[in-house]
Amino acid sequence: MSNNKPFALLVVPDDEPPVLSGTPYEDRARALAENVEWHFDRPLDNDETVARMQNAEAVINIRSSVQFTREVLAACPALKILSVWGTGVDHVDLTAAEELGITVSNTPAYGAPYVSEHALTLALAVSRQIVINDQHIRSGGWTRGFINELYGKTLGVVGTGAIGRRMIQLGKGIGMRVVAWTVHPSPERAAEYDVEFLSLDDLLRQSDVVSLHVALTEITRGLIGRAQFDLMKDTAILVNTSRGLAVDEDALIDALENGRIAGAALDVFQAEPLAPGHRLTQLENVVLSPHAGGMAYNGTMRGLEMSVENLESFAAGSPIYVVAQGSRR
């Protein structure tokens, strides 16, 4: 191959809105391939995804809304490496990737300080009624009522990956009692994380704030539904900065409308972007943000760098951050 570039074709199928384009890491990515195709909109369906990447040897995936199903991957016979910007890979069929010989790498943990900070900010925004009071002042009001503090309250952290562990530290930092749930608790992990593990039911019963930090798996899909809301305090707040499908959205809306829980703070949704006029946008006891928890500048730059490092390390024969080990080289 001329210029000794490791890949014949690199495709970025979904840089919309652009985050990788225009950074120093774009130049590093382009330097890896003889040809580069960069798309600044998202494919409308799987057929369009295939059309964009069917000849690619390397792909950098920016948006988790793009699905890499078995059918999509099977239609890409040249694909060697798929680099996912982000920790979550629930939109990639990892089993199919391995069977087809495709290596998949992600960018783990880069966003832990930023997503956890965002989760705490959202919890405070609801408990301190920041948005409601801001809107009240802008409309000419100045009525002050009691607001709720988090100091001395119980924070339930659901999921103890890098983000969840950082959330444990933040909760303790503002004087909260912190308990946690994980799929695989152990005394050793409890000691390492300095946290008390509870069953999910007990965590929900005891917590004033429930903060979700789970990857989307068969276990965590729909993890919080009607039965779980029925266990929560009617003064509790649900915070979700993980995956929208971890929560039954209809059950959440019913719980919010009926006063089953006091409020919610959401950075992720079942379908993104959130549709105009969605029922969640009509509720005063909800604070919304546009899947922005990991979008702190420094964190974003590090994650983008890692997404390119995945290709560089693969080309050097030593893949990193591998979540599916392929055989194509």
Q: What is the CA radius of gyration of the chain?
A: 21
- How far is CA 227 from its chain centroid? 24
Question: Contact, 122 vs 160, CB < 8 A?
Answer: no
Q: How far apart, in whole angstroms, are the C-alpha atoms of residue 215 and residue 223?
A: 11
Q: How far apart, in whole angstroms, are the C-alpha atoms of residue 125 and residue 147?
A: 10
Q: Is 329 an active-site residue?
A: no
Q: Which of 117, 166, 291, 312 is catalytic?
A: 291
Q: Is 226 an active-site residue?
A: no
Long-range contacts of 174-183 (CB under 8 A, 24+ apart): 174/120, 174/150, 175/150, 175/151, 176/150, 176/151, 176/152, 176/209, 177/152, 177/153, 178/154, 179/154, 179/155, 179/203, 179/206, 179/207, 180/156, 181/156, 181/157, 183/219
Q: Is 291 an active-site residue?
A: yes
Q: How far apart, in whole angstroms, are the C-alpha atoms of residue 41 and residue 52?
A: 11
Candidates 130, 167, 127; CA nearest to 151 is 127
Q: Which of 192, 257, 272, 284 is catalytic?
A: 272
Q: Which of 26, 243, 249, 312 is catalytic?
A: 243
Q: Which residues are catalytic?
A: 243, 272, 291
